[in-house]
Amino acid sequence: MLKKKDKYIVAVVGATGAVGKEMVTVLEERNFPVEKLRLFASERSEGKIINFHQRGVTVEILTEKVFDGIDIALFSAGGDRSLQYAPIAAKAGCVVIDNSSAWRMDPATPLVVPEVNPQDLKWHKGIIANPNCSTIQMVVALKPIHDAAKIKRVVVTTFQSVSGTGSKAMDELFHQTADILNFRDVKPVVYPHQIAFNCLPQIDKFMDDGYTKEEIKMVNETKKIMNDDSIRVTATTVRVPVFRAHSESINIETEKKITANEVRALLSKAPGIIVYDAPEKGVYPLPVFAAGKDEVYVGRIREDHTIDNGINMWIAADNLRKGAALNAVQIAE
């Protein structure tokens, strides 16, 4: 267990990626008590300079020997590197907060969203998993409803921005859009099909049952974070031509009756949520509005009249912040 100190030596592993850069930004914006910041990436990024509190920090090569003396390491370097380096870091006395999927379903590793299950941090053994971006924003909105009326079933369709794939995907959307507007041929590289002016009903690989790995992540992670295996979740995840911030359409069935107004009142008091719900005035969550913000925006709250106890809602949140970097820093806090 990490000893409480005034300031900590903090590392960001995968510091030059989209999420890694956002982690550095969030650490600075929230004035996390950093005594020294160390940045790690692959060999091709060695020597790059990233600014932190108006000082340049040089990116180092990640090796097995770098973790001595580091208190907290925020990992966003992919599952393979997390599997290799996180146990080494933990053995060196460092607390690892890992953004990949490598440790999320490990029974010995807590999977944490601070607004939902902070109590699970108490039993970590050196590694803490940061959930999937689409799961994080959903469970923030689900938790108050579950506490009040017990959720039986969730049907979610996601509309996920390209930044969830990384910087190369953002570049691909930009260049494809320019190519189409200039009547040039489009050549998909990051995605299997054109993403500009299109929607792709595939995120990650397809499994034998026809679901994608992203959809299965949402099912399994929701149950673990909410500490309730009885919640039935089914998901369809879609990549859309948006640069930043994920949106989700969520249908919820509860055991107890709860009205739309009661849901609005609950969510208005819940941490990390802004109820943005006046559709008659054109007020509802939009990814362009959620981008760069910390909160999960919830709107289009209405009762589902096809079942006894049903609620529909639409949510949007910044996948690089609450869906990744911010949640990791909140765990560290």
Q: Known catalytic residue: 94?
A: no
Alpha helices (runs of H) in the chain, residue ranges in sequence order:
18-29, 79-91, 133-149, 167-181, 213-226, 260-269, 287-290, 326-332
Q: Which DSSP string corresponds to 248-286?
A: EEEEEEESS---HHHHHHHHHHSTTEEE--BGGGTB---
Q: Answer whether 34's CB lies under 8 Å from 7's CB.
A: yes
Q: What angle in degrees, to the nearest 10, is found between the helix axes of 260-269 and 133-149?
A: 120
Q: Which DSSP string corresponds to 152-211?
A: EEEEEEEEE-GGGT-HHHHHHHHHHHHHHHTT-----SSSSS--TT--BS--S-B-TTS-
- Name 266's Cβ contacts closer than 8 Å, sequence gap at least 6: 144, 145, 148
Question: What region does 93 belong to: left with phi over 0, alpha with psi -120 to 50, or beta?
Answer: left
Name the burial class of residue 122, with classes exposed (0-12), middle (13-18) and buried (19+) by CB atoms within 10 angstroms of its CB: exposed
Q: What angle in degrees, to the nearest 10, is found between the helix axes of 213-226 and 133-149?
A: 40
For residue 111, list its beta bridge partners: 129
Q: Known catalytic residue: 133?
A: yes
> Which entry of 124, 133, 193, 199 is annotated as an active-site residue?
133
Cα 150 to Cα 144, 155, 231: the distances in Å are: 9, 15, 9
Point out the residues that are catalytic. 133, 246
